[in-house]
Amino acid sequence: MLKGSLFASYTVPGLALMLLVGGSAMVATWLPSKRHPLGPQISLVSGLVLMAFEAVALLIVGYTWLLGFYVAVGLAIVALSLRQQFRHPKEGRRV
C-alpha cells in the first residue's frame, strides 16, 4: 500500500498516528474529565488532528471505508466540542 509514497515502511506513519492522534485524543479525554476550562478547545484540536491525519492518509494510501469512518468520528468530536464551547452559560454543566 505504501508503494510510490514517501514512506518505505509503516514505522513513521504509525508513530505519527500514536503520538499526534493518540496523544491528542488522550489529552482531550483527560482534560474534560477533570473539568479543565480548556477541555473543549483541546477536544476540538484533537478532532481536527484526526481529520488532518486521515486527509494525509487519503493522499498516500487512497480511500478505504475505515478512513471514512474515522473522518466521521473526527467530525463528531469537532461538533461536540463546538457545542460544548458555545452552549448558553445559564444551562450549566451537564454530566
pLDDT tens per residue, range 28-37? 999 988 888 8
CA angle, 50 then 55 then 56, to 5°:
100
Residue 6's pLDDT is what?
79
Task: Decide if 43 contacts 28 (C-beta within 8 A).
Answer: yes
Rounded Cα distance, 31 and 40, in Å: 9
- Mean per-residue pLDDT over the chain, rounded: 88
Residue 82's pLDDT is what?
93
pLDDT tens per residue, range 42-86? 999 999 999 999 999 898 888 999 999 999 999 999 999 999 888
- Above 60 in pLDDT, residue 88? no
